[in-house]
Amino acid sequence: MRTVNFLAKRYPQYVFQDERSDVVFSAVPRGRIVKHHRPERRLEEMRVSQHLDRLEKKTTQLAAILSARSGVPPTRLGVTGSILIDVQTSFSDIDLIVYGVKESGQVKEALLQLYANGEPFQRFTGSTLSTWCREQCSVHPLMIEEAKAIYARSWNKGMYKNTVFSVHPVRKTGGEWFGELLFRSQGIVEISARVTDASDSRFLPATYRVTKVQPEKSEFRNLDRVVSYESLYGDIARKDDVIVVRGKLEEAIDRSGRMKYRRVLVGSADAGGSDFIKVKQGPPAT
């Protein structure tokens, strides 16, 4: 909210009031957009360039390996973060994008195998893992051991030739359209529930379909999903896992005024950083 408050005072044109979700956030009006940076185009330009810095070369190598091992065409990959807008330094991370449901699943499986094979791919360990956990605990309501447990269940963050990298799946089709539903806040709640479907949890927002919500209260009737805008909680729970969630309870209303479902939203300004998803029961990723 500090960013929004700063913009509201000095650059109010970059503050957007979304009537469908009753949320205020920063946004750039379409008329003020000067350039659209496309991750897949930037990566393609890097592939054919003869003038790359060391990090750019490492990025193209990483993308090529993931493409070859997963069978995902290079055109379904992109690069984001500082490299996308060409402001990277020698200390920058590598942030890749993979487009598509099927493609992201293929990259996930390939990356898990590459971790198992060892160098040059590695999971966070030692001081790198400790630093990452402390960073997460500084901005999320987690203990160090809880942050470690979350990392143990993640797959899209690791090291390639001693450089930190991440992979971010992006949908090409499907999902709800922006503005399709009106979301009405019902306050901050804490629940536990059993996951019935985690197939949409690797995208942002991460969506978990749930059942057996506890405690049993009337306000939780028809609560069938947990949605996170915090990427940290993406793809960390599997089917039949029991999760504990703190977040904003919302009713999803269609255009006719009918309530379609309830959800708990993680990553809202209303929660003030107190929201989370923790896996209470279930085995870690293999």
User: What pLDDT score does 179 carry?
Assistant: 74
**Residue 40 burial by CB count (10 A; 0-12/13-18/19+): exposed, middle or buried?**
middle
Strand order in the sheet with 121-122: 77-80, 94-99, 163-170, 157-160, 121-122
- Give the mean pLDDT of the chain: 93
What is the average per-residue pLDDT within 103-132?
Answer: 96
Q: What is the CATH number of domain 39-170?
A: 3.30.460
Segment 75-89, tens digit of pLDDT: 999 999 999 999 999
Nearest 10 degrees: Cα torsion 66, 70, 76, 81: -30
Confidence of residue 286 (pLDDT cuts 50, 70, 90): very low
**Can you spell out the DSSP letters for 192-231?**
EEEEEEEEETTSSSEEEEEEEEES--GGGTTEEEEEE--G
User: What pLDDT score does 173 carry?
Assistant: 78
Whole-Å CA distances, 41 to 74, 77, 79: 11, 9, 9
Q: What percent of the chain is predicted at pLDDT more than 70? A: 97
Domain residue ranges in the chain: 2-32, 39-170, 182-281
User: What pLDDT score does 282 carry?
Assistant: 55
Segment 231-278, tens digit of pLDDT: 999 999 999 999 999 999 999 999 888 999 999 999 998 999 999 999
Confidence of residue 129 (pLDDT cuts 50, 70, 90): very high
- Give dist(CA 31, CA 61) in Å, integer: 37
Identify each DSSP E strand in the chain by its residue range. 15-18, 23-26, 77-80, 94-99, 121-122, 157-160, 163-170, 182-200, 206-214, 223-228, 242-253, 259-266, 276-281
CATH topology of domain 182-281: OB fold (Dihydrolipoamide Acetyltransferase, E2P) (2.40.50)
Whether pTM exceeds 0.85: yes
User: What pLDDT score does 187 carry?
Assistant: 95
Confidence of residue 21 (pLDDT cuts 50, 70, 90): confident
